[in-house]
Copies of this chain bind each other. A is one copy, B any other.
Amino acid sequence: MVRFEDISTPARLAEPGEGIGRDELSLATRNHGLPLEALRYDLTPPGLHYVLTHYDIPYAEDGDWELTLGGHVERPLRLDMDELRSYAAVTTRVTMECAGNGRALLSPRPVSQPWLVEAVGTADWTGVPLRALLAEAGVRDGAVDAVFTGADHGIERGVEQDYQRALPIETATGDAPEILVAYAMNGAPLPPQHGRPLRLVVPGWYGMAHVKWLRDITVAAESFTGFQQATAYRLRQEPDEPGEPVARIAPRALMVPPGFPDFMSRARVVRPGDHTLEGRAWSGHAPVTAVDVSTDDGHTWNPAALEASDDHRWAWRRWHFTWTAAIGTRVLCARATDAEGRTQPLEQPWNRGGFANNLVQRVPVHCTGL
């Protein structure tokens, strides 16, 4: 008899020096990040936006999809895709980042999806404001959480489940951010891996909140204690702590690595002279107000030019900086600061899940006259 505990083991940390395992590689070959040179695009081209799927991508077509909205409401709703598209639509440009971004650089390394720094992307999402649907259903007094259920099904740490996450009812019915029940990405129906035909988009929050393949919203009069809320996506130093929930995206700047790479080592090479360093910066807490660049591994910093956000409050901002390269090896860094004064650490902010880690990116670059 197969027992779930035989195939679904507890979370663990890698041993010192332990290479990436077959399990982590299986996730890395399925899910994928943004190749950092694609930070050049305001809007991430299709297929380059990061993707993380916990289980399998469900096979779904528009025709037979229904969203139910029930629980602690006056008038439960059942809506097909045509009905959802008949509501006034809102389009928002959103930079989305996986809560586990940067995990594989941590020491010790939490064994899970092994992101380096590339789990990010920006898209225009179109859909119905969640608060409009909740208003139509009539949230009853005493509501605490709105619980979102996706069609993706699997086992995680021994628990068989549909993917489910909740938002506090004040967040779900609020407009800061304006949460979308989205059916289009960059003007086209959602690709399968981004939730076809329907997903939640929660601007400013890490990716785990943006429930894909959304099929049900249940308003609850009690706090949701499902696996992805109470067990996963918590900031813990020790396994038995309750931990703080992961929510909004910490500020981060990323750089397009300059020059050209070695295929295997990915080491970067430039020729001597001026190079425009460029990249993007974002924060889910407050607008990014400054990006600083270091060309000496974080010892000294200089301000980068930060471009206008064009009123895309929830999207990354482009920055650039001119660097005069001389023969030798330098470590380049960029650091974002937001309007609430949050910035990025030079030492890793470690937790057992490897979540919400916004350690400054380090890009070693070799300048050669060859």
Q: Identify the A interface with B (CB < 8 A).
A: 1-4, 7-9, 18-21, 23-33, 35, 37-38, 40-41, 45-49, 51, 53-57, 59, 104, 111-112, 114-116, 118, 153-157, 160, 191-194, 257, 260-267, 269, 327-329, 366-368, 370
> Across the interface, which residues of B come within 8 angstroms of A262, CB to CB?
4, 7-8, 154-156
Among B3, B20, B26, B37, contact of A56 (Cβ-Cβ < 8 Å): B37
Given contacts A35-B193, A191-B47, contact A263 B54 (CB under 8 A): yes
Question: Least Cβ distance of A7 to chain B in Å?
Answer: 4
Cβ-defined contact, B37 with A260, below 8 A: no
> Across the interface, which residues of B come within 8 angstroms of A8, CB to CB?
262-265, 267
Q: Which 5 A-B pairs have the closest CB atoms?
A: A19-B19, A47-B47, A32-B32, A20-B20, A7-B267
CA distance A8 to B263 in the complex (A): 8
Could you show 9 A-B contacts with beta carbons less than 8 Å apart? A2-B327, A7-B267, A8-B264, A9-B264, A35-B56, A47-B194, A111-B264, A155-B262, A157-B264
Smallest CB-CB separation from A156: which chain B residue?
Answer: B263
Question: Least Cβ distance of A348 to chain B in Å?
Answer: 16
Cβ-defined contact, A261 with B111, below 8 A: no
Cβ-defined contact, A261 with B47, below 8 A: no
CA distance A7 to B263 in the complex (A): 10
Given contacts A19-B18, A45-B191, contact A40 B25 (CB under 8 A): no
Question: Least Cβ distance of A61 to chain B in Å?
Answer: 11
Among B29, B104, B266, contact of A23 (Cβ-Cβ < 8 Å): B266
> Across the interface, which residues of B come within 8 angstroms of A367, CB to CB?
2
CA distance A157 to B263 in the complex (A): 8
Cβ-defined contact, B56 with A366, below 8 A: no
Question: Least Cβ distance of A23 to chain B in Å?
Answer: 5
> Across the interface, which residues of B come within 8 angstroms of A260, CB to CB?
55-56, 153-155
Cβ-defined contact, B32 with A29, below 8 A: yes
CA distance A37 to B370 in the complex (A): 47
> Across the interface, which residues of B come within 8 angstroms of A264, CB to CB?
8-9, 23, 27, 111-112, 156-157
CA distance A87 to B170 in the complex (A): 59
What 4 additional pairs, Cβ within 8 angstroms, besides A2-B370, A111-B264?
A8-B264, A26-B266, A29-B115, A32-B32
